[in-house]
Structure 1
Amino acid sequence: MPKISDDRKLERSRQILDAARRCFAEKGFHRASMSDVIKESGLSAGAVYSYYSSKEELIAAVARSMFVAYEAGIHSFDDPQAHPASPEAAVRALAERILLEIAPLTDGFRMVLTVWGEAANNPALRDTVRDIVRGLRGVFERVLTDWQAAGHTLPAEPVVLAQVMVSVMQGVVVQQGLVGDIEVEDYIDAFCAVLRGVGLGEPRP
């Protein structure tokens, strides 16, 4: 039997994940079955099970693949020299990268809500979501701490402000996933205007 190349393996894995994402978005984690995923993928049952041995493993893989944009955005701030000039700049950089990149991958954020709901009762998935949320908080907390050290006054402690800023970003995910009428760019602009209003951004000329 000829060996499958690494590129072909990666392509098949993505094919299965894309099929699973569509099934989970349509039916939810619990109603969607492995049979649904197999049919949607167009592959044989043996091929799918050779990559993912159970629905639980597939759920974890889908969740992880969804948050690649989040992780890339977070890690882009790991270099202290790359920190933005203000908390507002950090919000805009992360929001534009994360929110705008992840929306097309998650059916307008509906899959994000599905993952969050499942994470409440799935410890492994909860760990993944918790790492992402804490990573985002950490980015904002570092930027806020630097802003404060530069002589700016904060309306609250950096750790608390970071929690609030992440919550506002989560809010657009919830509203878009449930209602679907949010213009993400306008939301980001309004959020940044609020940050400037409380001294967390550079004043506009």
Structure 2
Amino acid sequence: MSARRAAVLFTGGVVPRLTDARKELRRAQIADAAVRCFSRNGLERTSIAEITAESGLSAGSIYTHYRNKADLVRAATRVVLARHAEVLGEYAAADTPPDPDELLARLVAAIDPVAARVGVQTWGEATTDPAIREVVADMTERMRAMLHDCVTAWLVKVGHHEPAGAREHAAPIAHRVLSLYLAELLHTALRSTTEETVS
């Protein structure tokens, strides 16, 4: 007798459903496993079977939550973006937001080498895969918008600019901060890969 059939008989014909909280937990578990696999093996060489083994779940469970590898990459970038959104939101809301140099320094200090390697691999995939390109473009634009808000807050609260003028002045500054951050992300990814090869 299958496990599903046994569950149906045991519960009187009703198969217990995952709660929303448990679904989110399961999705996060799968996304974290995918990030670890992508970091070790690369996006192209990572199979769903490897992600399944890494997560400790069944292949059916993976496909219940994610349609394909692009969907998993999208989920992983959302997790990273959510972390940035929380931190940058706190910076922008502070009485004295960090200046652009300090903002960049804090972002760089928080770079995770594993996430950096996956990020750089994702950029590479984006050059040939339209679904991944859409994810990368969306994440980059959202990150730029969050940095723009943070720099605007600094100009208004510390520089005493008028809000409208501050937003306009903040745009090129936020662009430079984002460019330098992405360069540091690439540097971290390459350095961590080299260090692993040497050791």
The gaps in structure 2 that reach 5 residues or longer are: 1-14, 162-168, 194-199
> Secondary structure of 2:114's match?
coil
Contact 1:86 1:143 in 2 (8 A): yes
Q: Normalising by structure 1, report the TM-score.
A: 0.67
Equivalence for 1:168: 180
Tell me, yes or no, if the aligned pair for 1:73 and 1:94 is still in contact at 8 Å. Answer: no
RMSD: 2.9
Structure-1 residue corresponding to 2:22: 8
Q: Could you tell me the TM-score, scaled by structure 2's length?
A: 0.68
Q: Shift of the alpha carbon at 1:133?
A: 2.3
Deviations 1:115-151 (A, max 9, x none): 333344512331122211232134224423655446x
2:119 pairs with 109, 112, 135, which one? Answer: 112
The aligned runs of 1:164-203 (5 Å cut-off) are 164-180=176-192
Change (3 A) 1:101 1:5: farther
Paired with 2:48 and 2:39, the residues of 1 have a C-alpha distance of 14
In the TM superposition, what is the alpha-carbon distance from 1:16 to its structure 2 partner? 0.7
Once residues 50 and 15 of structure 1 are traced to their aligned partners in structure 2, the CA distance between those partners, rounded to angstroms, is 13
In the TM superposition, 1:44-55 aligns within 5 A as: 44-55=58-69
1:92 to 102, 105, 125: 102
| CA 142–112 in structure 1, closer or farther in 2 if over 3 Å, else same | same
Query: Is 1:37 equivalent to 2:56 in the alignment?
Result: no
Aligned residues with identical type, % of pairs: 26
Structure 2 residue 33 is the aligned partner of structure 1 residue 19: yes
Unpaired runs of 5+ residues, structure 1, are 151-156, 182-205
Structure possessing the higher radius of gyration over alpha carbons: 2
One-letter amino acid matched to 1:161: I
Q: Which residue of 1 aligns with 2:75?
A: 61
Partners of 2:188 and 2:153 lie apart in 1 by: 28
After superposition, what is the alpha-carbon deviation per residue over 1:40-84, rounded to whole angstroms, capped at 9, x for unaligned?
A: 2121111111111211111101111122221112222454xx352
Aligned length: 168
